[in-house]
């Protein structure tokens, strides 16, 4: 089986770090000369004779060899590619540091400073460090308030739009060329438009007026590509639950799907080829199908349980859909699959492909050997390594209970893509390298930007939107 292209750089970087650490230990052991106490001598030149490794990415260990570095890290400055490197230790003839982010040029320089911070000596290495770009987690938009009493939910530019609480669902406007990302926030009844081109977030009041808990966004497959907003109604069994907001009115006017009434809707998808709307509710095993041509609702298949909060994500080619068990009274989680029958124009009954109906957990693996905990929204991303195969898409999803983003191949193998740095399971907040540094707190929503080749993650516990991208 071919590996995802996103992981090739990660494996190489990890190998580079391991080799650097091994080299560091080896050099330290074989070096008989104790130079730790030798101070910088201003009468001698500073020289960089070599460095190891020759290539790597952000966060890699880098060892400089030479002479007259001194023994005081506070009086040293090392730059790689013009970016300041964090110095770990120095022993006069060798120096250990960490490769900084965006060290693209690769030139290595060292400066010795006096007590006043003035440069008194300088050296540059021959040759350059070959910098390898990494996938990193950063914060795109939103404010993390130290005091919740100071928090605001408001419209504004990326650097002043308040916090974004209770994020539930991301959806790109299919006619925006990936510039307009819509975000539902469920409990706060707010729907936002994130304008990525103009770096602005706007709260859109028309989507909260008269709605209970705006939850899921889909789009019609006709030429209008109108927005279908599914409302998670908390009361009443015969209420309008799906509303079509017309693009022709700039999504200000809407019409309910009067024959598709339900409450406690937790999942809804539109088949990308045939345009039918499928949805399911917390209290019902039925998976409903709404036909826009006949305006009729049928129940072609059933889920195997009730009282489960389900999220549904359909394959871009409509071949199948995943059902993510996000919540059940007994906890745990799984991902089920239902295949699409082209002749019947309906999905088959779902079957579990990873995890179990029992207790959840955190285990990378295949099938029931893999463990998930509150899997939420997911997104299909085409993997060029699968070109020509029956299914060319990997599936990335938020594993909210495990505070990470995971990836599942078409063959059902689950690995961790981002988060749980150093195996830490508790929710936290940190930007940085995908696995060793990045921390999430209850990530729930996710989208992939095909224009910019990056992911956006609704980090609901931190009230911000994170970005996962290759270094720019």
Query: Distance between CA 85 and CA 101 in Å, rounded?
Result: 9
Task: Say if residue 18's pLDDT is above 60.
Answer: no
Task: Give span(s): CATH 2.60.40.10, the chain.
Answer: 5-131
135-470, CATH topology level = Neuraminidase (2.120.10)
What is the pLDDT confidence band of residue 266, given thresholds at 50, 70 and 90?
A: confident
Tell me which of 31 and 309 has the higher pLDDT: 309
* Minimum mean pLDDT range among 9-23, 48-62, 434-448: 9-23
Q: What number is the average pLDDT over the span 301-319?
A: 93
Segment 356-365 shows an average pLDDT of 88
* Distance separating alpha carbons of residues 122 and 119, to the nearest angstrom: 7
The pLDDT value given to residue 262: 86
Alpha-carbon distance of 190 to 142, in angstroms, equals 15
**Facing residues of 347 across strands?**
340
Question: What are the DSSP calls for 101-117, one per residue?
Answer: TT--S--EEEEEE-TTS
Q: Return the higher-pLDDT residue of 300 and 10.
A: 300
In the chain, the percentage of residues whose pLDDT exceeds 70 is 91
Tokens standing for residue 334: 């799984």
pLDDT of the residue at 103? 95
Domain with CATH 2.120.10.30 in the chain: 135-470
Going by their DSSP bridges, the two strands 94-98 and 61-67 should be labelled as antiparallel
Which structure tokens are listed for 449? Answer: 């930007």
How many angstroms separate the CA atoms of 401 and 390, rounded? 32
Among the listed residues 50, 53, 70, 69, the one whose alpha carbon sits nearest the alpha carbon of residue 61: 53
As assigned by CATH, the class of the 5-131 domain is mainly beta
Closest CA to 413 of 386, 441, 448: 386
Band (34; pLDDT cuts 50, 70, 90)? low
| Global pTM value | 0.85
Q: What are phi and psi of 133, to 5 degrees?
A: -70, 145
């Amino acid at each position: 089986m071919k590996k995802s292209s996103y992981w090739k750089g990660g494996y190489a970087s990890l190998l580079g770090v391991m080799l650097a650490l091994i080299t560091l230990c080896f050099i330290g052991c074989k070096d008989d000369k104790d130079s730790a106490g030798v101070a910088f001598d201003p009468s001698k030149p500073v020289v960089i004779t070599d460095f190891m490794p020759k290539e790597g990415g952000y966060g890699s260990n880098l060892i400089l060899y030479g002479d007259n570095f001194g023994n005081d890290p506070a009086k040293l400055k090392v730059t790689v590619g013009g970016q300041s490197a964090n110095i770990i230790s120095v022993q006069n003839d060798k120096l250990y540091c960490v490769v900084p982010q965006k060290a693209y040029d690769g030139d290595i320089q060292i400066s010795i400073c006096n007590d006043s911070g003035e440069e008194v000596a300088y050296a540059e290495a021959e040759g350059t460090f070959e910098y390898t770009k990494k996938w990193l987690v950063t914060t795109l938009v939103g404010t993390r308030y130290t005091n919740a009493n100071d928090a605001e939910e408001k419209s504004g530019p990326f650097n002043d739009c308040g916090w974004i609480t209770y994020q539930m669902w991301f959806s790109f406007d299919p006619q925006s060329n990936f510039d307009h990302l819509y975000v539902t926030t469920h409990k706060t009844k707010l729907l936002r438009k994130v304008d990525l081109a103009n770096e602005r977030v706007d709260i859109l009041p028309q989507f909260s007026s008269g709605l209970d808990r705006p939850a899921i966004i889909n789009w019609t497959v006709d030429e209008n590509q109108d927005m279908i907003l599914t409302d998670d109604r908390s009361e009443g069994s015969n209420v309008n639950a799906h509303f079509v907001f017309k693009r022709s009115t700039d999504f200000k006017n809407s019409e309910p799907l009067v024959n598709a009434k339900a409450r406690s809707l937790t999942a809804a998808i539109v088949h990308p080829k045939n345009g039918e709307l499928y949805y399911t509710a917390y209290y019902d095993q039925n998976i409903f199908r709404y036909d826009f041509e006949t305006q009729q609702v049928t129940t072609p298949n059933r889920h195997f349980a009730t009282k489960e909060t389900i999220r549904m994500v359909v394959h871009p080619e409509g071949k199948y859909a995943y059902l993510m068990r996000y919540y059940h009274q007994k906890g745990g989680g799984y991902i089920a699959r239902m295949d699409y029958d082209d002749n019947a124009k309906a999905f088959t009954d779902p079957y579990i492909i990873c995890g179990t109906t029992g207790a959840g957990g955190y285990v990378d693996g295949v099938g029931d050997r893999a463990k998930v905990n509150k899997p939420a929204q997911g997104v299909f991303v085409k993997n060029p390594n699968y070109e020509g195969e029956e299914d060319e898409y990997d599936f990335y999803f938020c594993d909210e209970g495990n505070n990470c983003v995971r990836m599942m191949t078409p063959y059902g193998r689950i690995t961790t893509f981002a988060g749980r740095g150093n195996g830490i399971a508790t929710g936290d907040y940190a930007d940085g390298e995908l696995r060793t540094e990045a921390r999430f707190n209850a990530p729930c929503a996710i989208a992939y930007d095909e224009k910019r080749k990056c992911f956006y993650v609704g980090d609901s516990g931190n009230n911000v939107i994170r970005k996962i991208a290759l270094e720019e």
